[in-house]
Amino acid sequence: MSLPALVEPGPPLSPSRAARFARHLTLPGVGALGQRRLAASRVLAIGAGGLGAPVIQYLAAAGVGRITVIDDDRVERTNLQRQVLHTEGDVGRPKAESARDAVALRDSAVDVTALVERLGPDNALALFRDHDLVLDGSDNFATRYLVNDAAELTGTPVVWGSIHRFAGQVSVFHPGHGPMLRDLFPDIPDAGSIESCATGGVFGVLCGAVGSAMAAEALKLLCGIGEPLIGRLARYDALSARWDELRFTADPERPPVADLEEVAVACRALSQQGRDDDITAGEVAARLEHGGQGIAVVDVRTRAERSVHAIEGSVPVPLDRILAEGWPAVAEALGAGAADGRDIVVTCQAGIRSARAIDALAASAPAGTPLRNLAGGMDAYAALTQ
């Protein structure tokens, strides 16, 4: 199914811009008119990580005139294995700003706006209305469903991608022209139902394959060429080097999205506004620096995660063991005096799995045991101490 171009062409290209995009100008269906459409396009890239990195680079290289990058995360050393937009010199910087500066080095004529913030119910609708197309490279369910619902409410088309370990998926959700994410996956899954990249790993080059496919879909929609992945989920398995396709249709019984109330709940849970049992990375670091009296750190991450960075003296007790055994697993790991009044600080990578562990431990720990959640997890502790 071909569709009209999303964008009206801008003014004629200058000689220098025409020379830059010469290989596009000879392409049937793109040509000078298509290149002028790209120059007039406004694209919102959600995330500047594994998928955002190739998407942003290829859209900028193709001559998309205005790109807004929204990401509230910072570049970490573990990102460099796959997020090729960033360099060692960017570690610690906001990803959105690193992406903006990387594009400027490639083409200073592309207008990139860096938003160092999270996409949320408070800003999604305005951002979507201000752009012709959205590319969703987010890494959590709350944001993906927020993107779907905001797109449905504003009529903004979305190119969607996801990756996990060695496999990735790409599709296009175009309101009024085909099914949406909620037709394919009706309900928001539990936040912990799928492993994150930190826990499950990701094949670095997979990001390039899936991100490039997303960029290709974006350019097709902007120029009005080819057959977009509407009603089709393209699936790539890097280990077998195979693409396959799942076709799906709109669910006639699904009620249309009326507001952002449901996703607002999921987004609030994701933002981790704070728990009563939170302890800051600064307080933990300060107490450990002064001998660690009255504190014991339990790390619920995987062995692979701990091998990258762990708090000195912390005790590993994997989350799945805590969920299965409860307090006895922690007591065995800590040894005699486990419940002698020390603060039991539980940590994971970002503070989400540790909160889940504490909720599980609360039912079986001795009464009055002070269980504390390291707010922001190892991400926050590493940013403070490295």
Distance CA 96, CA 48 (A): 6
Shared domain check, 357 and 242 = no
Shared domain check, 291 and 210 = no
In a domain, 5, yes or no: no
In a domain, 9, yes or no: no
> Among this protein's residues, is 223 annotated catalytic?
no
User: Exposed, middle or buried: residue 199 (CB in 10 Å: 0-12, 13-18, 19+)?
Assistant: middle
Strand partners, 373: 278, 346
Shared domain check, 218 and 85 = yes
Shared domain check, 294 and 258 = no
Among 224, 240, 271, residue at a domain's last position: 271
Shared domain check, 43 and 138 = yes
In a domain, 6, yes or no: no
In a domain, 2, yes or no: no
Tell me which of 207, 223, 267, 348 is the catalytic residue. Answer: 348
In a domain, 71, yes or no: yes
Residue 274 pLDDT exceeds 60? no
Shared domain check, 306 and 266 = no
The pLDDT tens digits of the residues spanning 32-89 come to 999 999 999 999 999 999 999 999 999 999 999 999 999 988 888 889 999 999 999 9
CATH (domain of 328)? 3.40.250.10
Residue 116 banded pLDDT, cuts 50, 70, 90: very high
Distance CA 215, CA 55 (A): 5
Shared domain check, 343 and 298 = yes
Shared domain check, 300 and 255 = no
User: What is 112-149 written as a DSSP string?
Assistant: EEEE-S---TTTHHHHHHT-SEEEE---SHHHHHHHHH
In a domain, 1, yes or no: no
In a domain, 211, yes or no: yes
Residue with tokens 């469903």: 145
The pLDDT of residue 190: 61
CATH (domain of 38)? 3.40.50.720
- Please count the residues of the chain: 386
Among 271, 291, 314, residue at a domain's last position: 271
First to last CA, the chain: 52
Shared domain check, 259 and 288 = no
Among 242, 271, 300, residue at a domain's last position: 271
- In the chain, how many domains are there? 2
Shared domain check, 296 and 241 = no
Shared domain check, 285 and 178 = no
Q: Which of 182-196, 314-328, 371-385 has the highest mean pLDDT?
A: 314-328
Distance CA 219, CA 360 (A): 47
Report percent pLDDT > 90 for the chain: 67
Residue with tokens 């269980």: 371
Residue 123 banded pLDDT, cuts 50, 70, 90: very high
Residue with tokens 């801008």: 10
Tell me which of 197, 207, 223, 267 is the catalytic residue. Answer: 197
CB neighbour burial string for 118-141, b if at least 16 within 10 angstroms, e if fewer: bbbbeebbebbeebbbbbbbbbbb
Nearest one of 42, 32, 69 to 222, comparing CA atoms: 42
Of 350 and 335, the one with more pLDDT: 335
Shared domain check, 184 and 328 = no
The pLDDT of residue 192: 53
Q: Strand 42-46 vs strand 278-279: parallel, antiparallel, or unpaired?
A: unpaired
Domain span holding position 173: 15-271
State if pTM tops 0.85.
Answer: no
Summary mean pLDDT of the chain: 91
In a domain, 93, yes or no: yes
